[in-house]
Chains A and B, each alone.
Chain A
Amino acid sequence: MSGRPEDGPGADPDPGWGGHGAETRRRVLGIGSAIGLMAALILVVGPLVAPERELPPHPKPTPMASPGDPIREEWEVFRTRPGSVAVLPDAQARSGAKPRTLATYRALRAYPGAPPRIPHGLTEDEFRTPRCNTCHERGGFSPRFGAYTPVTPHPEFRQCLQCHVPDGQMVGIGFPDRAASGVCLQCHSLARTVPSIPLADWPEPDWPQIGQRAMEGSPPFIPHDLHLRGNCLVCHGGPGAVAEIRTTHPERANCRQCHVPAPSAEGEFTRPLDREQIIAGKEP
């Protein structure tokens, strides 16, 4: 059997854990003779110049280099320190801020998983060089909007407008003076907090059902894909969370310890009692 230790270092391109063996030893010997006298005098140096002992052969080491970019869906969940979003439940209410609700969340998305459009005005300058992360990376209260800013789950993407589009008529209007202007009603009807966008023929999509669970009291499934949304707390924690889906326990950092995705494809697992091909010919 090749690869066994009796095949010795020959089987391995990087033999002996003395490392690049011969070369290291030559160097050590060189140093040894050059400072021979000194070494004899300074006992402490003794061990340093002693020839390296024979050590067992070993497999080729794993390069410590990163195995690749992190798996987003695994890594993102740990990106937000729970403490940063663990506000008291009534903090949002006490601030007098408008709550973020499922209705507004859905109104900005064409279908589940679609990138939300930008519901607010952008100055010409902002449109040319988007600096969305100024507000959307950390969140916090925005006096301009009287609301907590939603936090992006993927702040490393800087080309925000690649996926998130503003309404053309809002570009260039900047942030209106909410107190004085009638400009709001250009986009917002009196009844709606989110500007409506008329659509030709687009039925209301099937939004994931909230709170699906196996039994009473068991942790709800994750009803959506995790692509670009692996950082649970940005939507489910903190004052910027969507009110209906805000977690009661943002301090639990490892969300998927309890909440697992619920793909619908596979049903129950059962298996036949007998596998004839395995037991053929056997009798008690």
Chain B
Amino acid sequence: MRTDRRTFVKRLALASAAGAAASLMPGVSFGEEVARAIEGLSQPVWRKTPCRFCGVGCGLLVAIENGRAVAVRGDPDSPVNGGLACVKGYHSVQMLYGRDRITRAMVRRNGRLVEVPMDEALDLVAQRMRETIERYGKDAVAMYGSGQWTIPAGYVASKFFKGGIGTNNLEANARLCMSSAVSGFMTSFGLDEPMGCYEDIDHADVFVLWGANMAEMHPVLFSRILEQRERRRAVTIVDLATRTTRTSYAADRSLIFTPQSDLAIANAICHEIVKRGWVNREFVDRYVAFKRGKTGIGYGLEDDFRFTEEAVDATWDEYVRFLEDYTPERVERISGVPAREIRWLASLYGDPSRKVMSLWCMGVNQHTRGTWMNNLIYNIHLLTGKIASPGNSPFSLTGQPSACGTVREVGTLTNRLPKGEVTNEEDRRLAAEIWGVPVERIDPRPTHHTVSMFRALDRGEIRFLWIQVTNPMVTMPNLNRYRSAAQKEGRFIVVSEVYPTPTTDIADVVLPSALWIEQEGMFGNSERRTQHFEQMVRPPGDAMSDAWQMIEVARRMGLGELFPWRREEHVAEIWKEYIRFHDTPEHRMAPYEELKARRGVMWPYVDGRETKWRYNTKYDPAADPARGEFDFYGHPDHRAWIWLRPYEAPPEWPDEEYPFWLSTGRVLEHWHTGSLTRRIPTLHRAVPRAYVEINRQDAEELGIRNGEMVRIISRRGSMAAEARIDYRAQPPRGQVFVPFFDESMLVNELTLDAYCPISGQPDYKKCAVRIERMGMTLGGGPAR
């Protein structure tokens, strides 16, 4: 149903006149009568929801009219974004209505996907799952989800696989996205997720962005930073990056470093802080311990790679000696960043009168030493005591709407449970008790992290794989290997999706999924804020929520007693059950009713109060004031740990044969693999296809003209793309960049499946390629 502009505006006006409550609190505080009255007038009704895209979790208001979502605005009452969104959020509802939306279940017969009734498809999934378990054992079936799962969906997956089937073959694409952030938090603090929150932006004087192009990837938070600089003037933004981007132009200073040398730069900053006497001695003595881990830890390129970290006590003196290697001059020689700039940066961190916020995302996490990089940034903040207080905040950004809420908090990873680790008996007992299953059913051994899981699929140890809400046939590094793995005989792949993708191409069964506001759910954003959204429109055709698909299959497998809920109430029931896992002051969560009524609630939520700064005894109810100003209660010694993490080289770097670094990433207009954003005409038209960014001088030397087709080749694969010179960003000489959203230009066929041994997260930012001219152009080309 289309509404012309005039009717729409008139209806909006009527809607606000219909009741003060309606306009003041759109979406939530409507009495049902008011809502009905408004619907009776056929006016749009505004409902609140977190955005479906990145991990910022902006509050949006969606206008629903005649059963369709017709408009979006930023929610002025949301503490996350205060009414501002970005171009993706503003156009988000259009993704519900792409013409190639999957609305029916499909089964592959004679090589083609054939529509079948939903029940038939669910029967087949359950049957194949059961057969696979009977023939090959419970660890031959696996589930691969994502940080786009709603919290209820992730919870059902965990209960189904870990509590029902009894396998730890449960992973999520967040492993490719922020598991280094998790292991960074776990090793430095003993508990996951940030101590601070977005409000830190309003207090900080200095913002250091570690390899994060926030102007494009976290634009709403970046605007909040720019607003602070405009308002307070004495605010400094430093962009520390491997290429010059929109963020570099907006920053006060842009420092370009050689890939991988961030490890050395962080240590050089600490070297300077120690040498210049900027260490906050009182803080360090009281709240910090020093640890040494393993070194020379490898890159996980071998199938049988295994790694276990060990923490060994270290002393302050040992730490100071360790830092001696990292003089700014020596670090300049490997990073390319002048020593004076490193000193200047250290002075910003060291200046006791300035509050400093560090922000990072994929540049730090997608790193073969990702855990180390996370540790090193915390080291800087711990040395100076600039942590866990307003404006002093090392802040790990996330890329998916519920990477925190679902994958990290529910624990949809092989090693995790909704609370704690599968290896921990106490955690297994709690899960067994809440789930009502024998504790022996929960397997104490983690199986595979994501890369390892796809390798196990290749080797035939995993035979059945169910993929929900993600697109691994675009995102897996070294993609050629894992695509052929999935296509091998004797593998059965189920894909729950909303649009055809390269992943549905390899599916044996495709299940149509409900998308975003077509179901009720919750997302958890990167500042520990859980946000509820209700179902606002009907899913098309037979489409069903991911959570309910799993429940249907579990019931068919005889595991129905684990999921006794009625469909109308299952989200509320799941939430009530789930929060029993977190019923301690460190992580208590808001009750369902409150979540439904409010613009998200931050945990720990204790006695009706959100916790903005964890570990700070002034704010955090779990922190013990007897320990002083801070209590880092995540570790048994109640201290935060500074780790001695050295610089180690990347697994592959440019040489004569492959002379360029390749980095991959996103653009503002597209999100993840583009399967949603490309269905939004505004976004598709703005950036219709991927390209390769190349430095102007390099292009001149190779004789490459702007817009010309080139082939980029790595040791693992090759792709053709248009060369773009000075288009959106500028790589320095010797580097190229390719966005990964375009399924017709699969840059992940080139990337290396090396990963951080501690987190299992692959490095999508560094491998070596060469470039060849193709002597042709596609014509047209994206406008700016």
Chain A interface residues (CB < 8 Å from chain B): 1-5, 11, 14, 17-20, 47, 52-53, 55-65, 67-71, 73-75, 77-78, 81-83, 214-219, 221, 225-226, 251-254, 256-276, 278-284
Contacts and interface: CB of A to CB of B under 8 A. Distances in A.
B683 A260 contact: yes
Given A62-B733, A64-B338, 15 more contacts: A58-B649, A59-B258, A59-B334, A67-B695, A71-B727, A215-B70, A254-B223, A258-B84, A260-B668, A263-B686, A265-B685, A269-B98, A278-B502, A279-B487, A282-B108
Given A1-B715, A68-B730, A71-B729, A62 B505 contact: no
Nearest to A214: B682
B707 to A, nearest CB: 13
Contact of A216 (B8, B220, B249): B8
A269 B732 contact: no
Which 3 residue pairs are nearest across A and B when measured between Cβ atoms? A19-B333, A59-B653, A61-B336
Contacts of B711: none
Interface in B652-711: 652-658, 661, 668-669, 674, 678-686, 688, 695-697
Contacts of A20: 333
B618 interface: no
B306 interface: no
A94 B380 CA distance: 52
A75 B249 contact: yes
Contacts of B87: 219, 256-260
Contacts of B683: 260
Contact of A257 (B12, B223, B654): B223
A283 B108 contact: yes
Given A216-B5, A281-B111, A284-B109, A271 B100 contact: yes
Nearest to A18: B330
Interface stretch (B238-246, B447-455, B592-600): B238-246
B86 A67 contact: no
Contact of B647 (A56, A219, A254): A56
Contacts, number: 282
Given A71-B729, A83-B230, A258 B681 contact: no
A283 B110 contact: yes
B225 to A, nearest CB: 10
A225 B784 CA distance: 8
A260 B669 contact: yes
B258 A60 contact: yes
Contact of A3 (B90, B98, B654): B654
A216 B84 CA distance: 16
B653 to A, nearest CB: 4
A280 B111 contact: yes
Central interface residue in A218, A219, A264, A268, by most chain B CB within 10 Å: A218
A282 B487 contact: yes
B230 to A, nearest CB: 5
A52 B681 CA distance: 58
A59 B260 contact: yes
B651 A5 contact: yes
Contacts of B646: 56
B249 A257 contact: no
A231 to B, nearest CB: 12
16 contacts: A11-B655, A20-B333, A60-B734, A62-B734, A64-B255, A69-B726, A82-B230, A83-B230, A214-B682, A216-B70, A218-B91, A254-B215, A257-B219, A262-B685, A271-B100, A282-B508
Contacts of A269: 98, 674, 678-679, 684, 688
B726 A55 contact: no
Interface string B103-144: 000111111110000000000000010000000000000000
Contacts of A280: 111
Interface in B756-784: 768, 780, 782-784
Contacts of B242: 62
B347 interface: no
A284 B128 CA distance: 10
A261 B669 CA distance: 11
B90 A219 contact: yes
B361 to A, nearest CB: 16
Interface in B706-748: 715, 726-735, 743
A57 to B, nearest CB: 6
Contact of B783 (A3, A69, A225): A225
Contacts of B502: 275, 278
Give the interface size class of chain B.
Answer: 35 or more
B612 to A, nearest CB: 25
A253 B647 contact: no
B71 interface: yes
B780 A260 contact: no
Central interface residue in A20, A56, A65, by most chain B CB within 10 Å: A56
Interface string B331-348: 111111110010000000
Contacts of B697: 68
B227 interface: yes
Central interface residue in B489, B658, B681, by most chain A CB within 10 Å: B681
B325 A53 contact: yes
Given A254-B215, A260-B682, A271-B100, A283 B728 contact: no
Given A56-B647, A257-B223, A270-B100, A61 B334 contact: yes
B678 A253 contact: no
Nearest to B688: A266
A150 B749 CA distance: 51
B681 A283 contact: no
A268 B223 contact: no
B192 interface: no
Given A62-B256, A64-B337, A78 B250 contact: yes
A254 B222 contact: yes
Nearest to B744: A271
Contact of A17 (B257, B330, B735): B330
Contact of B243 (A17, A67, A252, A266): A67
Contacts of A14: 333
A22 B609 CA distance: 61
B696 A68 contact: yes
B492 to A, nearest CB: 7
B230 A253 contact: yes
Contacts of B734: 60, 62
A271 B500 contact: yes
B768 A3 contact: yes
B108 to A, nearest CB: 5
Contacts of A260: 87, 668-669, 682-683, 686
B682 A221 contact: yes
A126 B388 CA distance: 60
Contacts of A214: 91, 94, 680-682
A245 B338 CA distance: 44
B650 interface: yes
Nearest to A257: B219
A228 to B, nearest CB: 12
A269 B689 CA distance: 10
Contact of A67 (B128, B256, B261, B330): B256
A55 B334 CA distance: 11
A215 B325 contact: no
A252 to B, nearest CB: 6
A53 B646 CA distance: 13
A252 B84 contact: yes
Nearest to A84: B230
B568 to A, nearest CB: 30
A257 B90 CA distance: 10
Contacts of A254: 215, 219, 222-223, 226, 246, 250
Contacts of A276: 111-112
B684 A268 contact: yes
Nearest to B111: A279
B261 A284 contact: no
A55 B333 CA distance: 12
Contacts of B426: none
A81 B630 CA distance: 39
A5 B296 CA distance: 11
Nearest to B680: A214
A214 to B, nearest CB: 5
